[in-house]
Amino acid sequence: MTLSASGGGRPAGRFYALSARARCGLCGSAMVGQTLTVKGRPYRYYRCRHAYDRNTGHDCSARYVRADTLEDAVWREVKRVLTEPATVLRELWRADGHHADSEEMSRLEREIASLREREKRLVRLYTYGEVDEEVIREEGAALRRQLDVLEERRRTLDRQPVHHGERPNPETLERVCAAVAEWIDRAASEEDQTLALEALQLAVGATRETATLTGVLPTEPPQFITIERTSA
């Protein structure tokens, strides 16, 4: 049996749709794609980056998760949510019919301020020569990703109503959901899957037994929907 981790120069067919979106359901660390080759046959998995990790001092008992099983389950749930008119309508009313929750907004502001202060401290440490360039690059990128998520959530909460209290036409909503279902069924390419997951800001917490999905239902058409190739 041989192992090969995902990353640069991966062989054709070793695409991990949930890379950078899946986190370990036990310890919360990022999960990475890995291919195990048994008797010449490759099997794709996701594993916690700290499973069997002897280099960082961290250790996690999470088991490998079959990539095909996890990805299929995620796509089924995405399709279920986006193609149920009642679910879509509920989210539209929640997003368009209410102003930002003050308590949630305050929490976001505190977290954003804390992350920005951590960025400043990291720059100071680099200036004083207490951390090297690789550390500041990796830690800075991680902080920026967290800030992007929080700031997008804040913008979503603060967005003004779009539909002005008008309920979408049920027949139109049915047709839209049917079109979304058809698009998802056709989204077989790596680019299509990546675009869809980006639009939903999907995050997955997974173990071998369970998976939890969180994301944002766009209240405006994602950019990729306007691309001629995907909107035929």
Do 93 and 3 belong together in one domain?
Answer: yes
Do 12 and 84 belong together in one domain?
Answer: yes
Rounded CA gap, 232 and 226, in Å? 10
Residue 167 lies in a domain: no
> CB count, 10 Å around CB of 222?
14
Do 48 and 145 belong together in one domain?
Answer: no
Do 120 and 76 belong together in one domain?
Answer: no
Query: What strands, in cross-sheet order, belong to the sheet with 211-214?
Result: 22-24, 203-206, 211-214
Residue 207 lies in a domain: yes
Q: Provide the domain limits for residue 125.
A: 101-158
pTM score of the predicted model: 0.57
Do 120 and 88 belong together in one domain?
Answer: no
Do 7 and 89 belong together in one domain?
Answer: yes
Residue 198 lies in a domain: yes
Do 178 and 152 belong together in one domain?
Answer: no
Per-residue pLDDT at 92: 66
Do 123 and 61 belong together in one domain?
Answer: no
Give the angle subtended at the CA of 158 by the CAs of 224 and 222, to the nearest 5°.
5
Do 93 and 105 belong together in one domain?
Answer: no
Per-residue pLDDT at 64: 93
* Tokens matching residue 4: 């090969």
Residue labelled with tokens 């058809």: 182
Spatial neighbors of 95 by CB under 8 A, at least 6 apart, are 156, 159, 162, 217, 219
Do 86 and 107 belong together in one domain?
Answer: no
Residue 164 lies in a domain: no
Per-residue pLDDT at 9: 40
Phi and psi torsions of 46, nearest 5°: -110, 140
Do 119 and 25 belong together in one domain?
Answer: no
Do 39 and 135 belong together in one domain?
Answer: no
pLDDT block averages, 10 residues each, the chain of length 232: 41 74 90 90 91 70 92 88 77 56 78 89 83 80 85 74 56 79 77 81 90 76 49 38
Per-residue pLDDT at 204: 93
